[in-house]
Amino acid sequence: GESVGLHLPTLSVQEGDNSIINCAYSNSASDYFIWYKQESGKGPQFIIDIRSNMDKRQGQRVTVLLNKTVKHLSLQIAATQPGDSAVYFCAEYPRKDQAGTALIFGKGTTLSVSS
């Protein structure tokens, strides 16, 4: 499957491939992370989340990996389908005692799936 070591704004894959989207987060004190999918004309939609006390979490066809040492988050999509084409964002929640409680969004990655 296709993967990127660093964040890239676009990722093109073939249907059926596995996709890996990477994200570097900013705050080492953040303790909760979310991946969102945004389709054209819609708001971001929740995909999967992970707390900082975990390294990996699996959902349906998706897996999120968290590496706190290097402040890196990745989203793996198995058997990518055309309907997975969208912009994907990672987001982090600062810890409660940190300034601000808003979600901080990373730069999005546009995933394009061709048949």
How far apart, in whole angstroms, are the C-alpha atoms of residue 22 and residue 19? 10
Contacts of 47 (CB under 8 A, 6+ apart): 34, 35, 36, 37, 59, 62, 75, 88
CB count within 10 Å of CB 75 equals 24
29 binds other proteins (CB under 8 A): no
62 binds other proteins (CB under 8 A): no
Binding range to other proteins, per CB under 8 A, among 22-30, 37-45, 56-64, 74-82: 37-45
Binding range to other proteins, per CB under 8 A, among 16-24, 59-67, 69-77, 89-97: 89-97
107 binds other proteins (CB under 8 A): yes
88 binds other proteins (CB under 8 A): no
